[in-house]
A and B are shown apart, each in its own frame.
Chain A
Amino acid sequence: MTQKILRVDMGKGTLNYEDVPEKYRRLGGRALTSKMISDEVPPNAHPLGPNNKLIFAPGIVTGTGSPNSGRISAGAKSPLTGGIKESNAGTPFAKTLAQKGIKALVIEGKAKKDKYYILKLGNDGEELVEADDYLGMGLYKAYDKLHEEFGDNIEITGVGIAGELGAANAGISYTDPEGMSSRYSGRGGLGAVMASRGIKFIVIEEPEEDKIEIKDKETFDKGRKKLAKALSEHDVTKKGGALYSYGTSVLINIINESGGLPQRNFSEGSDDRSAQVSGERKAEEIKKRGGVRPHKCSPSCIIRCSEIWTKEDGKDPVGVLEYESVWALGPNCGIYDLDVIGELNRACNDLGMDTIEAGNTIAVAMEGGLLDFGDGEGALKLMDEIYNKTALGRILANGAEYTGRAFGVDRIPTVKGQAMPAYDPRPIKGIGVTYATSPMGADHTAGYAIAPEIMGVGGEADPFDIKKGELSKSLQRATAAIDSAGYCLFIAFAILDIEEGLEGVVDTVNGVLGTDYSIEDVMNFGKQVLETEREFNKRAGFSKEDDRLPEFMIKEELPPHNVVFDVPDEELDSVWED
């Protein structure tokens, strides 16, 4: 087997390639990071301490050229939740790591305090290079400088100023196809885990030889074609479809009209001004400014939901403004101006922070009286506090819950310490079941009930219906499998509706691994991933009492539907029953 595990011990300063043990050979992506974290990290380890580890793993099909297979998983014990974390991103870094033959990259131990290194994975060897020149630098500039230093034939992952602060909202940034810092394993503070090892950047050179092995090429090719066909036919994923035409922010209008787009720290579920920051509005503006839309986040993508947002004059590209980011930094803060949102998103990308958590943090700070809802200029100044590493900046960089406590706020929209994404769970209850029960904390991607509840994709489910345990459970299992295979979660829109697409996914996985898995086996595989994660969390001190939404969502009615989150605890707990 040419694939290896690369283990970098920052305490000892050693780099070693290891053979992949039999138990990990058929794993990839989330399945592999979660299993290795569970096997190697003590559950009581401090997330920033010497016993935590950061593991990067491309998915099983990542780098093979199968459609939408450019995903990477980063895993560790999370400084934000205190539980296990897998955070998934689409980036050219993913296929480059896979093609270099690295099944998992393990960063363990800790370098000397305040010493930072660049891990260079070059074609002529690996080395740790001092990163002192990059400290305190924004990531857009840093990535330019890294390209100058190491050439254009590289992909980068890195941590920004938020990581240097050891902050719980520090994400891990990756290059997009233009080489900018705009793709993220944003959630869960994994950037702080990376920075606390003493790694500032990982620079990987495009390998001269592609080391990915496809055991059964015929089955793989058959699957790849089936999946491509499904993606090109489904209304959501096809060329000219919603994602292609408007990007993920096409959801702003429908979630707002459905009464589930949280406004001003989850105080209301809709506001007519949301239309000013919709996907339709943004696509129109990108066209006018000369930005890019549609766009691929990674080379094998055929959906192309990404884009490049710029300033009004078409200059200073930010990268994509995702639906979640636009909402978090926009309507959730009472901000309805795409240019302000764009600059807040730029600051997050530059500081190395998750946009969902950052937007929630600003909204909670607004609720706490630090500034008024709608104060975009004030929100940008809060970002300066983080750039300047002030005491206030350090509080804000630790996320919504931490900031809420600092300012005496009793309405903090978090589960397991992680802030909620762009769907209020009161009028859309299935997503609330996922927020409550996912081992990741409040995470929409963990079991995207919005698809059946709002879009009628992958079945139909009334968003007001409280019987959502089964729905969330099956979606969480399917998602864990997709995250492990290395596919973009958006393939789910097509494969949940088109059976042939699902077969294609299973065929490609079987093709790469030389296995004979059935669709049922793959779902069961997803179940095992979830159980590994839940078991780790249990050992870290979590119980079913942590699988609950914040009190205010159970007591406080959300306009315009004036409903509370009324899914009974037993229904939430049913997610973990067979």
Chain B
Amino acid sequence: MSGKVKVKLFAQIAEIAGSNEFEIEGEDVRDVLKALVSEVAELEEQLFKDDEHAELRDDKIVLKDGRNIGYLDGLDTEVEEGDKISIFPVVGGG
């Protein structure tokens, strides 16, 4: 599967990227995030623990269609045309 997905960035991540919405093509979440950091280099160290793009940093939250990818297949979670990826720093409040 693959297709164009909508990527939405929030809080400090959007400030770093200078934009809060992207359209990116990929087969899984890792693909999408890799394409995102190739577009916005400043996000590389914000999102990934290492150059291999093997692991997401612990202080970031990535949702696919409102579900944390940690409860799906992590970075290997497949994406389809029209899916939405939302990326947050760790937030708190209440």
Contact = CB atoms under 8 A, between A and B. Distances in A.
Interface string A235-259: 1110001110111111101100111
Interface in B37-92: 58-59, 61, 63, 65-68, 70-71, 86, 88-92
A451 interface: yes
B93 A248 contact: yes
B93 A243 contact: yes
A249 B14 CA distance: 16
Contacts of B70: 456, 460
Contacts of A246: 11, 91
Contact of B93 (A259, A323, A464): A323
B88 A254 contact: yes
Contacts of A257: 8, 10, 63, 66, 86, 88
Nearest to A465: B71
A489 B92 CA distance: 11
Counting chain A CB atoms within 10 Å of each CB, the highest count among B65, B86, B90 belongs to B90
B94 interface: yes
A455 B90 contact: yes
Nearest to B91: A242
A51 B88 CA distance: 50
A533 to B, nearest CB: 21
Interface stretch (A159-167, A204-212, A442-450): A442-450
A250 B93 contact: yes
Interface residues on A, range: 35 or more
A235 B93 contact: no
B8 A247 contact: no
A254 B66 contact: no
A493 interface: yes
Counting chain A CB atoms within 10 Å of each CB, the highest count among B61, B70, B91, B93 belongs to B93
Nearest to B66: A259
B92 A270 contact: no
A280 interface: yes
Contacts of A568: none
Counting chain B CB atoms within 10 Å of each CB, the highest count among A250, A279, A324, A560 belongs to A250
Contacts of B59: 235
A-B CB proximity, top 9 nearest: A248-B93, A236-B92, A242-B91, A259-B66, A251-B93, A257-B86, A235-B90, A462-B71, A493-B92
Interface of A: 235-237, 241-243, 245-251, 253-254, 257-259, 270, 279-280, 305, 323-324, 421, 427, 444-445, 448, 450-451, 454-457, 460, 462-464, 489-490, 493, 560-561
23 contacts: A236-B91, A237-B92, A242-B89, A242-B93, A243-B92, A243-B93, A245-B11, A247-B93, A248-B93, A250-B11, A254-B86, A257-B8, A257-B10, A257-B86, A257-B88, A258-B66, A258-B68, A280-B14, A305-B93, A455-B92, A457-B90, A460-B70, A463-B68
